Homo-oligomer: A and B are copies of this chain.
């Protein structure tokens, strides 16, 4: 059994990226790992943007990374790369924060044209953090993920790149991210998400082997 932290970085509370991150987390938990999830957007925004290491919530988040044996790192694709939200958190990690850890990278996006952002943009950053092993990752097309509830189109953020582009629950509806996430899990099409499930299972098996050796 390994301690796994799933970190996802999207500006939206009802993000498809969050749905996918929780889906992978649930799958790893079902296989016996101790899994928790960290949504970067839930951290104090100013502390994050100003790299205020005195902030207790930020410190707690950094401690969770330090304690994890493995991390799932998930982001929407915006502007042909990972989100700035995710990167603000990776930026405050110590230089070799991922040394000795196993990483599973996951991207979500609205167009297959952005698949390579995983290996050309996200993976180099994770490698620079000293990760021992960044597994083969997966890009989930948004059409395989649904987010139910009073969704309202929001102008602006990256119609090109992001599944989270049209997220944005109206305040009146008030559906929480957790509820949306649970419902949305039913919306993951088997065929579209199957390769990710296979990767997650292989990642889980790998963590078990490593735990057995140690």
| A interface residues (Cβ-Cβ under 8 A, vs B) | 11-13, 40-41, 45-46, 48-51, 53, 78-96, 111-117, 119-121, 123-125, 127-130, 132-133, 136, 139, 154-161, 209, 213
Check A45 against B50 for contact (C-beta < 8 Å): yes
Check A79 against B129 for contact (C-beta < 8 Å): yes
Check A87 against B90 for contact (C-beta < 8 Å): no
CB A101 to nearest CB in B, in angstroms, measures 13
Which B residues touch A96, using CB under 8 A?
A: 160
Check A90 against B86 for contact (C-beta < 8 Å): no
Cross-interface CB contact of A113 among B80, B81, B113, cutoff 8 Å: B113
Check A49 against B53 for contact (C-beta < 8 Å): no
Check A124 against B92 for contact (C-beta < 8 Å): no
Check A119 against B123 for contact (C-beta < 8 Å): yes
Bound complex: CA A35 to CA B116 (Å) = 33
